[in-house]
Structure 1
Amino acid sequence: MSGTRGPLPKPSALKHLEGNPGKRALNLADGVNPRIEVPPAPRHLGKEAAKEWKRITPHLQELGLISSIDRAALALYCQAYGRLAELEEAFKGKVAKIQADEGVDYAEAVYRASRTQTPSGYEQQSVIVQLIGNHRLQVHRHLMHFGLSPAARARVQPSNYLQPDLPGFEQTPTKPTGFAAFAAPTLQ
C-alpha cells in the first residue's frame, strides 16, 4: 500500500517564526499559494472525461484546491476516470449479453464475463477486469492529489493566494526595481 504516512509536515514559514527549533535548513520557497482558478479543459479529453471535468472543477474551485497550474494533473484524473467509466459500461454490456444469450442469472453472467480460458485450459481474469482494476487504482491516486477522498481531505491545503510575510523578508515588488526597471519597460 502506497501513500503518505504520519503527521503532516509543519510549514517552513511557521518553523521560521518559531525560531527554527530543529536547526535544520529551511526551504522558505515551499508553501506556494497560486491563484484559485479553473484552467481550460484540454481538447483531447474523451466524452466521459470532459463530463467529469465539468462536474468536478466547480467543487475544486469552491474549496480552493485548483489553479491554472493543475491543468495536467486534473486532465490525468479526468481521463483515467473517463476510461474507467467506459470500461465499466463495456463490462456491463458484456454481462447483459451473456445473460441474454445464455439465459443465466446476473451473478453467473458477471462470473463468466470476469473470466477467460487460456489456450492451455486454465481460467484467468479477463482483460477487461484487469483494465478496470488498473484504472480504479489510477483514479484513486489522482483523487488523493486533489484531496477528493475522505482520507486525503485532511492532507491537502487550499490556496488562499496569500504569501506569508516573514520578518526580515521584503515583500515582492509589484513593479520592477533597479536595473530591471530599465531592462523590461513593458512590465510597468
Structure 2
Amino acid sequence: MTGTRGPLPKPPALRMLEGNAGRRSLDLTAGVNPRIEIPSPPKHLGQEARKEWKRITPLLEELGLISGLDRTALALYCQAAGRLSELETAFNGQVARLVADGSDYSDAVYKASYAVTPSGYAQQSVIVQLIGKHREQVNRYLMHFGLSPAARGRVQASNYVQPSLPGMDPQPTAKPGFAMFAVPS
C-alpha cells in the first residue's frame, strides 16, 4: 500500500489535549465515526462473493470496522475474493484432470501453469495470471478494512461517539424531518 509508511499520525483531538506542541492548526472535524451496521449486499454479487459477504460482515461488525458507507468497498472486496476462489477452483480442476490422465502432481501443476508457445518458450497461462491479479486486489482490499496483520494498526474502529473537547459546546441535537421546523411551545 503506497503512502502508509511510518508511524500513524495522532488524532487531532489527542494533539489538542496534549497541548498542540507543534502549534500547527488542528482540523478538529477529522475523525468521522459512522454508525456501525452491516449494509445490505448488492444484487450483482456472485455466489462465492455472497458467501464471503456473509462470512466477513459479522466479523467486521464485531470489530466496529463496518458501516453503511462501506457497501461499495465491501462489495469490491467480496467480488474479488469470490473471483479468486472461482479461479483457484478452476485451476485445481485442471490439475486434477491432468493427474487423472496419468501425470504426477508436480508435472500437472506445471502443465496447468504454463503453456508452450509456437516458438518453444514456456508462457504463464492466463488462469495463473488472473489468479495473481486477483490475489493482489484481495490483498489491497484487506488492507483497507484492516484485515491483514500489517493493516490492523492502521485502522480505527468506529465507536459512533463524537469526541467532546474542552472549550467546545456540544452540537445541538436536530429533530429529524420536518419536526426541525416546529415552533417550541
TM-score (norm 1): 0.90
Superposed CA deviations along residues 68-127 of structure 1, whole A, max 9, x for unmatched, are: 0011111111000000000000101111111223x1111110011000122332111111
- Partners of 1:186 and 1:70 lie apart in 2 by 29
Does structure 1 residue 47 correspond to structure 2 residue 47? yes
Aligned to 1:151, the other structure's residue is in SS state coil
Aligned to 1:26, the other structure's residue is in SS state coil
Task: Mark the runs of 5 or more structure 2 residues left unpaired by the alignment.
Answer: none
- Partners of 1:159 and 1:29 lie apart in 2 by 15
2:115 partner amino acid: T
Aligned to 2:123, the other structure's residue is in SS state strand
1:72 partner amino acid: T
Task: Mark the runs of 5 or more structure 1 residues left unpaired by the alignment.
Answer: 177-183
TM-score (norm 2): 0.91
Superposed CA deviations along residues 133-186 of structure 1, whole A, max 9, x for unmatched, are: 11001101111111111121122111111100012322121126xxxxxxx734
Aligned to 1:80, the other structure's residue is in SS state helix
- Partners of 1:18 and 1:160 lie apart in 2 by 21
Matches within 5 A, 1:74-93: 74-93=74-93
Match of 2:116 in 1: 117
1:61 partner amino acid: E
CA distance 1:143–1:31, shift in 2 (3 Å): same
- Partners of 2:32 and 2:76 lie apart in 1 by 22
Match of 2:37 in 1: 37
Match of 2:97 in 1: 97
Does structure 1 residue 159 correspond to structure 2 residue 158? yes
Aligned to 1:124, the other structure's residue is in SS state strand
Match of 1:138 in 2: 137
- Partners of 2:35 and 2:45 lie apart in 1 by 24
Match of 2:6 in 1: 6
Residues matched between the structures, number: 181
Select the residue among 172, 178, 182 that pairs with 1:185: 178
Match of 1:180 in 2: none
Give the share of equivalent positions with the same residue, in percent: 69
Aligned to 1:164, the other structure's residue is in SS state coil
2:169 partner amino acid: E
- Partners of 1:20 and 1:144 lie apart in 2 by 30
After TM superposition, the runs of 4+ consecutive aligned structure 1 residues lying more than 3 A away are: 184-188
